[in-house]
Amino acid sequence: MAVSLQQVVVRSEQDIVALRQRSRQIAALLGFGTQDQTRIATAVSEVTRIVFAQVRCARAEFTVEGENRPPSLCVRIDPGQGGSAASETIRQVGNNVAFTGACRLLDWCDISAMVDGRPVILLAKHLPGGADLGSDRLKKLAAQLVQPPTADGMEELEQQNRELVQALAELRLRQEELTALTRELEDTNRGVVALYAEIEEKAERLRRSDEMKSRFLSNTSHELRTPLSSIRALSQLLLDRVDGDLTPDQETQVTFIKTAAIDLSGLVNDLLDLAKIEAGKVAVIRSVFSVTDLFAALRGMLKPLAASDAVALIFQDPPDDILVDSDEGKVSQILRNLVFNALKFTEAGSVCISASVDAAGETQFDIVDTGIGIEEAHLPLIFEEFGQVENRLQKHSKGTGLGLPLCEKLAALLGGRITVTSTPGSGSTFTLRLPKQLPAGQDSGADLFADGAA
């Protein structure tokens, strides 16, 4: 429900000055602060001035409304004409740039409002703090407004000057705040840029040390391979009694030397493989191969490892053969590693290898064992270089802790991934997923790092 506070009819320039004073007075009575009083007085007198300039007449009515919006001081301004002429005048007022500027001083401006069937311009500003003044209080306010303001031009000019000085002071303050803020922003930006440069430099250093690590690993691995091969060959010669017989103790010692050399060769080979992958120097040789054929080859290779009768090594051929577009050698290397691990950590039961194609067309290889399993907390560790889980089978099993990181890197090279689920005491399932096709760009030419050594 709108409560009318005051109506002002404008018939001369002088009346606009009076309207301005009246607007400020009403705004003050309604509790608006000095700045808002100036905003309201300026907007109301400016819009009325534009209307007056067109038709030499205007009417402004001050009301307090709270029906469709927060309680607000509303000013209805109309040209005091009949229907369509009034609409046309208001339309033209709406096109005036000064009108748009005046609207910015308030919360609401509407040039299509109708009051009692008359087109009006509606200006509104929410009451301070959303105050809802009761109608009794508003009636009392209206009574205080009975006396018309003295439209003293000089006094109003002085008031406007005061407002201008205040506005300028405020503007200056804002300007200073803005300058300080800009400076702060510049400092922050400089800080961020410096930080980025530092991060870049650190990343570069890291890249370089990573490269150096890979180079160091591959070089030393190369250097170690030849002497290790010699040790293996020579110890085998001794064990074959080529240079005469050995005492039982000598045989034990030479066997020990040979075993150590073989273990070391495994470590060196894994290190070399890792270094090659990290250096991006591993050639991917693409082919389309059959899972049944792959399983047949793996069966032949791994059967001798499953020496214990307590553990069954089962390759489950897929009912319909699956064709895989990848690098057969690398897939075989990953599966060998996973099956080898499964056999190492399974004392009884089975190690079962199967393959399937999922809905997305990915080929999935599952290596399921009934071994000792891995605690959930240790799962991330086993994919770290040299990461091994302490368990009772660990001491008896040969291992470097490099197999799984190598498998993970090989899988990534083929666009695939390895996941694991495990229950301690029940067993583990390692899964290798390969994409339908080798990712573009992975199919390389010759092995840039080829060394010929096995």
For ligand ADP, the binding residues (CB under 6 A) are 341-342, 345, 369, 371-372, 374, 382, 387-389, 394, 399-404, 428
The least CB distance from residue 253 to ligand ADP, in Å, is 25
Nearer to ligand ADP, 185 or 310 (CB): 310
- Between CA 400 and CA 381 the distance in angstroms is 13
Phi, psi of 363 (to 5 degrees): -90, 135
- Cβ density class 45-68: b for 16+ within 10 Å, e for less: bbbbbbbbebbebbbbbbbbbbee
Q: Can you read off the two tokens belonging to residue 197?
A: 């440069």
The minimum distance between CB 402 and ligand ADP, in angstroms, equals 6
- Closest distance to ligand ADP from the beta carbon of 449 (Å): 22
Phi, psi of 269 (to 5 degrees): -65, -45
Contacts of 378 (CB under 8 A, 6+ apart): 389
Q: For the CB of residue 399, give the shortest distance to ligand ADP in the complex, in Å.
A: 3
- Closer to ligand ADP by CB, 128 or 424: give it: 424
427 secondary structure, DSSP code: E
Asked if residue 407 lies in contact with residue 396, where contact means CB atoms within 8 angstroms, the answer is no
CB of 242 to ligand ADP, least distance (A): 33
Output phi, psi for 63, to 5 deg: -135, 165
99 or 345: CB nearest ligand ADP: 345
CB 59 within 8 A of CB 78: yes
How far, in Å, CA of 442 to CA of 143, rounded?
88
What are the residues facing 95 on neighbouring strands? none
Query: Please, where are the H alpha helices in 96-152?
Result: 97-103, 135-144
Residue 286 or 417 having the CB closest to ligand ADP: 417
Cβ closer to ligand ADP: 295 or 340?
340
> Minimum distance from CB of 375 to ligand ADP (Å)?
10
Please say which residue, 93 or 338, places its beta carbon nearer to ligand ADP.
338
Q: Residue 404, SS3?
A: helix
CB of 349 to ligand ADP, least distance (A): 12
Q: Which tokens sit at 375? A: 């605690």
Closer to ligand ADP by Cβ: residue 149 or 405: 405
For the chain, the helix, strand and coil percentages under 3-state DSSP, each to the nearest 5? 55, 20, 30
Q: Cβ closer to ligand ADP: 52 or 345? A: 345
**Secondary structure letter of residue 126 according to DSSP:** E
Q: For residues 58 and 374, which CB has a smaller minimum distance to ligand ADP in the complex?
A: 374
CB of 422 to ligand ADP, least distance (A): 7
| Cα(193)–Cα(122) distance, integer angstroms | 51
Q: How far is the CB of 315 from ligand ADP (least distance, A)?
A: 16
CA 124 – CA 53 distance, rounded (Å): 22
The residue written with tokens 């001083």 in the block is 105
